[in-house]
Chain A
Amino acid sequence: GAVVSQHPSWVICKSGTSVKIECRSLDFQATTMFWYRQFPKQSLMLMATSNEGSKATYEQGVEKDKFLINHASLTLSTLTVTSAHPEDSSFYICSASERKSWEQYFGPGTRLTVT
């Protein structure tokens, strides 16, 4: 149980374009979803937290107009990187929690390369 999928697993895009990443909880209801960014050999950097049907809460320093997050249902959240630049290249990972639970279950991640 507690499986989270993420799509695509990797994507290459040109500078200035937008990229959408999907995160789905396959066998549980994810009342809260999290989006992280991870640089090589570094820890997880939380970008934002989203609850189903409400606006995402962004961490300090994360541009909400650049990283658009939508949590439309209890099983789906999306992250759209708008007007991507090479410095946005990174490993983006989503995770999901059930209601009243602190445990997070992670998707396999998306490696974004902006050329």
Chain B
Amino acid sequence: GQQVMQIPQYQHVQEGEDFTTYCNSSTTLSNIQWYKQRPGGHPVFLIQLVKSGEVKKQKRLTFQFGEAKKNSSLHITATQTTDVGTYFCAGPTYNAGNNRKLIWGLGTSLAVNP
């Protein structure tokens, strides 16, 4: 079945270092989404990428969607302690009732040492 794989599972960085998490899908995606979950919190929608090769930036965060629309990355420049959390990518699919749902990566947990 359709799978979304995400690496690395964990990453520890010193504050100020860069961080990247990668997401790969077993199938071509119509879009890919990224979410952030702070420790003890709930996932929060960050962004959706739709176009092949698309690059979007949100301050220090850069999101890319691969040309083949099967992979994506999230890069954080100069990490801060506020970036701590788990970053999930998710790809669209349909359930047995033909309703929309997301396939989730396992997430990358980011720890930042001050």
Q: How many A residues are at the interface, by size bracket? A: 20 to 34
28 A-B Cβ contacts within 8 A? Answer: A32-B100, A34-B101, A41-B109, A42-B106, A43-B106, A43-B107, A44-B88, A44-B104, A46-B101, A46-B102, A49-B97, A49-B99, A49-B100, A57-B95, A57-B96, A57-B97, A59-B95, A97-B100, A102-B31, A102-B48, A102-B92, A102-B100, A103-B48, A104-B33, A104-B43, A105-B45, A107-B42, A108-B41
How many whole Å from B104's CB to the nearest CB in chain A? 5
Q: For the complex, is A106 an interface residue (Cβ under 8 Å from B)?
A: yes
Q: For the complex, is B105 an interface residue (Cβ under 8 Å from A)?
A: yes
A43 and B105: CB pair below 8 A? yes
* A59 vs B101: C-alpha distance when bound (angstroms): 11
* A93 vs B41: C-alpha distance when bound (angstroms): 10
How many whole Å from B85's CB to the nearest CB in chain A? 12
Q: For the complex, is B44 an interface residue (Cβ under 8 Å from A)?
A: yes
Mark out the residues of chain B between 7 and 63 whose CB falls within 8 Å of any chain A CB in the assembled complex. Answer: 31, 33, 41-45, 48
* A93 vs B45: C-alpha distance when bound (angstroms): 14
